[in-house]
Structure 1
Amino acid sequence: MIVVFTVTLAILAAAALLTMVRLLRGPTTLDRITALDVLVILVVCGVAVYVAINRDGSNIPLVAAVALIGFVGSATAARLVERGERHR
């Protein structure tokens, strides 16, 4: 079972690296916001894998809080970008 966790963490790390490239090179602000949202989701998935490896459910509220903050933050940022494009 440890092989599955290791492979999962490796795939998440590769996805995070590619997401960081998009975050740094994104041509538009909306691309960067989307990359940041994906990065938050990858962090949540990584913590969920950590919880599964250690079989310790004490971090589940942390996972839920980070996911909620990520969702609210990306929705707010997208709304601000949309509002800024309307004024141009």
Structure 2
Amino acid sequence: MSKLEFFAYALISVFISSSLTFSLAKKYDNNKKVKYVPVLVGLILACGMGVRAILSDGAQSATFMFYAFFGVLVAMSSLTTALSIEKSKEEK
């Protein structure tokens, strides 16, 4: 996988997770915990793929670490979006 493909996948995953978090926060405005669901999904993906990478060997391990990295990326971008939404609501 080239660096350009890796950057494209990272950008797409950040965009999708941030959009999902924003839409959940907008749809379920009165339930504050719903917007943290994509964070939980990203962490579960990262932990599951990380454990799978440890148990695998060779090329499979690198593939699972790649997926674990994207799980962490999804969780971080979702958390950043959720916290910025909450901060903007507090300022109003």
Task: Give the TM-score taking structure 1 as reference length.
Answer: 0.52
Q: Which runs of 5+ in 1 are unaligned?
A: 1-27
The residue that corresponds to 2:62 in the other structure is: 58
Spell out, residue by residue over 1:15-74, the C-alpha distance to the aligned partner (whole angstroms, 9 max, x if none). Answer: xxxxxxxxxxxxx54322334313321221111122222223222122112212320221
- Cα distance in 1 for residues equivalent to 2:78 and 2:45: 15
- Aligned-pair identity (%): 12
- Cα distance in 2 for residues equivalent to 1:37 and 1:73: 6
- Cα distance in 1 for residues equivalent to 2:74 and 2:40: 13
Higher RCO by CA contacts (8 Å cutoff, separation 6 or greater): 2
Change (3 A) 1:63 1:43: same
Q: Which runs of 5+ in 2 are unaligned?
A: 1-29
Instruction: Tell me how many residue pairs correspond in the alignment.
Output: 62
Task: Give the TM-score taking structure 2 as reference length.
Answer: 0.50
The residue that corresponds to 1:43 in the other structure is: 45
CA RMSD of aligned residues (A): 2.5
